[in-house]
Structure 1
Amino acid sequence: MSLDGTQLTPILDLLNVPTEFSRLGRDGDPIIISRLNEWKTTTSKALLDLRACIETNQNLPFDILVRTVAVTAVFDGSDSWLDDELRNNTNDVFQTLPPCSRAVVESVLKVHLKPIFLSSPHPSLNPETGRKASRAAGGPMAVNDYYEDQVWKHYPAAGNVLSWCIRHTSVDDYEYLWPLIIPPVMTFLDDYQAVYKLKGVKLVSEMLANVPKMLLKRTGVDQLLYTSLSITLSHLHDEHTPVLVRTTVPTILRLIELTTAPDSAERFDKQCALLGEKIIGGVWSYAAKDEDTIVASLDVIPMVLKSLGIGSIRYLKALVPQCLHCLGLTPETPVNPDMQSPALTLLGVVIDECQPRMHRWKGTIIEGVCKYWVNAVDSGTANTDKEICVRDVFRRLSNACPSIEKDEYARLLKEDVDMFGPILLVSVSAIVIE
C-alpha cells in the first residue's frame, strides 16, 4: 500500500526535538525538565505509531522517507536526554525502513542539516568543495564572527543526524558527499564549548573508520583535523575534559596512522608531539590537580606508547616518576585509589616498550612499587586486584632485566618473604635465607 505525506506528517511533527534540550545540562528549571519528560513520553509513543504505520505501508514517497530518516535519526545517539526506551523504539523504526541509499543520505544532509549550519560557515573550509581554504575567510578576526550567530545550537539533535549520515556513508560515496559532511563536522570540532567539541571528536572518529585517506590529504583536511584535535587536548578544567582526553587521543592516533606512512619521520614527529607536547607538556603540566583528567591521561598513554614503540624511551624521565607519583608514596601526595591501578598498568607498558633502558630504571621502579605495596599491606588496603597489578609490573621488569630475579628480588625475599613473596615470581625455595 502506498502512503502519502498527509498520513505521516502529524506523527513526524511530534518528533521535533524541543530547543530546551540544548540547555538541559545548564538549566535546572524543574518546569522545563517536567515538560521535557512529558515530551519524551509522547515521543516514545509516536515512534511506535510511526513504526506501525510504515509496516502497513511500505511504499513511502522519497521526500517522506527522507524526513522520516532525519527525524528518527535524532534519537540515535548517547545524549543525556535519551533513554533506552527511545533508543529501542528508534531501532525498531529503522528496521522497518528500506535499505539506506546514497540519495537518502545526500537529501538528509542537504535538506535537513546544511541549512542550519549556513549562518556559521567554517572560516578554514571552502563550503562548496569541502577543501581547506588557502586563507581564513573573513581575515584574522573571522573566528569572532564564526562564534556570534550559532543557529545550529538551537537544534540539539543535529549531531545525532550527522552521525547517522556518516555511519551510512560508504567508502565510495565519501567523495561525492564530502562538501556536505565535513563543514558541519568541523563546526562541532572547533566550537569553544567542550560538549560540542566532544561531539565533534566522536564524529571525526566515526568518519575515520571509513573515509578514504587520499580524500583527507587531497583536500588538506588531514591537517585541519590534526590541528583541531590537538587543540582539543588544551581544553582543560572542564567537566568534559576527562572524556575529551579519552576520546581525542585514540582519534588523533587513528588520524596519524591513516595519513602518514609507516616508519616515516612525519608519523614519529606527530606521535611525539601528542605524547610530549599535548599530554606530558599540556595535560600533566596544566591540569596536575584535576585528578579525573590525570586518570584519563593514564588510561590513554599506553596506546600512544605502543604506537611509538622504542621511541618512547625519550620520555622515560617524565613517565616513570609520574607513574610512581600517582601511587601516593609520600605524605605530601594524597592517595587516590582511582589513580593507582591505571598508573601501574601504564608503568607495565612503559617497561615493555622501553626494555633497553630498564636497567637504568629498575632500582627506581622496584623502590617505588615496593613502597606502594608495603603501604597497602600496612594500611589494610591490599587486595587481590592490587596484588595482581604489582605482580604484573615485577613480571614485566624481570622480562626486561632477567638478572633481577637473582639479585634485587632475592634480596627483597631475604628481607621479608611474607611481605614480598606474594608479588614476586622468584621461587622462595631458591632463596637461601641467612
Structure 2
Amino acid sequence: MELSGLVRALRLEAQPPRAVPAAERVPLQAELLRAAGPGGAAAGRDLGALLEAADWRGLLALSPAALAELVSALSGYAAPPRQEQDAAEPPGRDRACAATAPRAADVGSVLLRLLEAAKGQEPRGAPGAAPALRPVLAHIYVFAAAHLAERPWTDARSRAVAQQLLELLVQAAGCGSVAEFLRGKHEDEEGRFGAVLGLLKPELTKDTWKQNPATKVVFSWTLPHITRPWLSPHLQLVLPPSLLLSDDYQEENKILGVRCLHHIILNVPAADLCQFNRAQVVYHALYNHLYSREAPLIQAVLLCLLDLLPVLERAQRQQRQPRPGSQWHEVLQLVLTHMEAEHRLALRRVYARTLPAFVRSLGILIVRHLKRLERVILGYLEVWDGPEEEARLGVLETLRCTIEHAWPRMPCRLPVLLKALLKMMWDVHTDRGSTPEAVKAALLQGATECLILLDRCSEGQVKVLLQGVYSSCEENQVRECIRRVQEDS
C-alpha cells in the first residue's frame, strides 16, 4: 500500500466519525506495518514521505487509542530483531541488528515532528504536552531509551535522534529532567514511571524478557532515575525483573540484575523490603553468586550485600530472633574461605577492597573469624599484586580495623603479625619494579599504623621488640617507620 493511502486514512480518522463499511476499515497498525514493511530502502522512503506528507495536526486529533497504536507500531518497526528465549543467536543476527539503526533514525524523526507539532499547540505560558500526546509519552520514552546507548541495533545517527527525541519529550511534558518526567515534580505527583513499567511488563516475564534485547536496556537505564520515596510504590513491579536478570547464566545480565537490586535496596524503606520475605529472597539470590569466579560480578554482589545485610539484621532484631545478624557471619565465612585459596589477582583485589567494611560492620564479633582472617591477612601481605597494590592496601586496612575492634585478642598474635608487617615493609622498600612511590608510601604508612595499634594493645611490647631492628637497620624509609612507632605515646 502507498503511504499516501495511509495518510488519507489518518486524516479521515481525525475527522468527525462517519459510517464506514466494516470491510473498508483496516486497523491502523496493519496499515502502518504494510506501508513501512520489510522493504529495505523502500521502507525508508515511505517514512521519509510520511515526514513530508503527514497532516500533523490531523495526527494529533486522533483518538488516544489510535495515536498509541501508531506510536507502538512505529516503535515495533524500529525494534531490534526478536529471538527465541534462551535460543542460540541465529546466523546473520548482527546484520539484522545493524539494519535496525536506519529504521530507528527514521522513526525517531517522525516522532520528533509529532512532538514539535504538539509543542506548537501549547497555550502560551502553559508548558506541557498537548492533551492528545499525553497517553503516548511513555511509548515515546521507551523508544528513545532503547536507542540512546551504543548497542548492536544503534548507530551514531539513531543515537543522536534518540537523544534529541528524549530532550524534546522532557520539554514537551513540562519537566526539567528525565527523573522529573518519570517520577513527577513533587512527591505527591504521579509521574510516568508506572506507565513505562506497564509497557515493559509484558516483555519482562520469565518467558519473554530475552526475546526483545532492548527491554532490559530500557528497564535498567530507567530504574536508577527513580529514587526514594518514589520507588517504593513500584516495588512489586521492579523487583521480579531485577531478580530475573540476576538469575541469568550470562555474566552481563547477572551484573545488570545485581545493580538493579542494589538500587532497590538503597531506595526502598527496610519495612517494605522485609514485607513478604522479599529481603530474604534477594539475600539468597545474591549469596548464590558468591560462588562465581568473575571479579566484576563478585564486586557488585559484595557491595549489594553490604547494604542488604543491615536491613536483615534490623528486621531480625525487631522480630526478636535468637541469632540476629547470622547472615553476616555466613557471608564472611564464605568470603574468607574463597580468599584463602584464591590465586587470581583480580578477585584478590575485589575481596580485599570490601573486607574492611565487613570487619567494621561486625565489630567485636569479628573474633569468631580471627583464625581464618589471620591466615588471609598473612597470605595477602606476602604477595605483590601489581603497581597499585590494591590487595595489600585493602588487607592492611582490614588488619587495622581488626586490631581496633578485637584488640584484646591481638597480643597473642603479635609475633606472627609483627614478622609479616616487617617483611612486607622490607619488600616494599627493596621493590625496584613499577610500583609508584605514592603507593609505596601508602603501604608503609598502613603498616606503621598497624604497628602502632599493635603496640598500644600489647602495652608496649612492639617497642621492645623493635629496638634491635632499629639499631641494625640501615634503610632510611624503614628506620623512619620504626622511629614513628617507638615515639608514639
Specify if TM > 0.5: yes
After alignment, is 33-42 or 400-409 more displaced? 33-42
Listed one character per residue, the Cα deviations across residues 376-416 of structure 1 (whole Å, up to 9, x for unaligned) are 44451364112321222222330342326633344322121
Listed one character per residue, the Cα deviations across residues 178-211 of structure 1 (whole Å, up to 9, x for unaligned) are 3322222222222343332222111111112221
Counterpart-to-counterpart distance in 2, 1:423 and 1:81: 60
Closer, same or farther in 2 for the Cα pair 1:78/1:400, shift >3 Å? farther
From 278, 299, 306, give the equivalent of 2:353.
299
From 336, 343, 352, give the equivalent of 2:385.
336
Corresponding residue number in structure 2 for 1:353 = 402
Closer, same or farther in 2 for the Cα pair 1:386/1:39, shift >3 Å? farther
TM-score by length of 1: 0.73
Corresponding residue number in structure 1 for 2:176 = none
Counterpart-to-counterpart distance in 2, 1:429 and 1:217: 51
Could you tell me how far 1:81 is from its partner in structure 2? Answer: 8.1
Letter in 2 for 1:73: A
Corresponding residue number in structure 2 for 1:225 = 282
Could you tell me how far 1:279 is from its partner in structure 2? Answer: 0.8
Corresponding residue number in structure 1 for 2:80 = 17
Could you tell me how far 1:228 is from its partner in structure 2? Answer: 0.9
Closer, same or farther in 2 for the Cα pair 1:225/1:429, shift >3 Å? closer
8 A Cα contact 1:66 1:108, kept in partner = yes
The one of the two structures with greater contact order (alpha-carbon pairs below 8 A, sep at least 6) is 1
Closer, same or farther in 2 for the Cα pair 1:157/1:170, shift >3 Å? same
Query: Which residues of 2 match residues 14-413 of structure 1 at below 5 A?
Result: 15-19=78-82, 33=94, 36=97, 39=100, 43=104, 54-55=115-116, 57-58=118-119, 59=130, 61-75=133-147, 92-96=164-168, 97=170, 98=173, 99-100=181-182, 101=184, 102=190, 104-110=192-198, 112-118=199-205, 120=206, 150-169=207-226, 171=228, 174=231, 176-234=233-291, 236-237=292-293, 241-261=294-314, 264=317, 266-276=323-333, 278-281=334-337, 283-284=338-339, 288-328=342-382, 335-337=384-386, 340-355=389-404, 356=407, 357-381=409-433, 383-384=436-437, 385-402=439-456, 403=460, 406-413=463-470
Identical aligned pairs, as a percentage? 17
Corresponding residue number in structure 2 for 1:126 = none
Task: Report the number of matched residues.
Answer: 385
Counterpart-to-counterpart distance in 2, 1:223 and 1:105: 26
8 A Cα contact 2:400 2:450, kept in partner = yes
From 411, 414, 425, give the equivalent of 2:471.
414
Counterpart-to-counterpart distance in 2, 1:205 and 1:82: 28
Letter in 2 for 1:412: V
Counterpart-to-counterpart distance in 1, 2:165 and 2:349: 39
Corresponding residue number in structure 2 for 1:132 = none
8 A Cα contact 1:163 1:203, kept in partner = yes
8 A Cα contact 1:412 1:420, kept in partner = no
Counterpart-to-counterpart distance in 2, 1:372 and 1:302: 19
Could you tell me how far 1:221 is from its partner in structure 2? Answer: 0.8
* Paired residue secondary structure (1:279): helix
Could you tell me how far 1:274 is from its partner in structure 2? Answer: 1.4
Letter in 1 for 2:246: L
Unaligned residue ranges in structure 2 (runs of 5+): 1-55, 61-66, 120-129, 174-180, 185-189
Closer, same or farther in 2 for the Cα pair 1:249/1:114, shift >3 Å? same
Counterpart-to-counterpart distance in 2, 1:424 and 1:343: 17
TM-score by length of 2: 0.66
8 A Cα contact 1:348 1:393, kept in partner = no
Could you tell me how far 1:32 is from its partner in structure 2? Answer: 5.3
Corresponding residue number in structure 1 for 2:41 = none
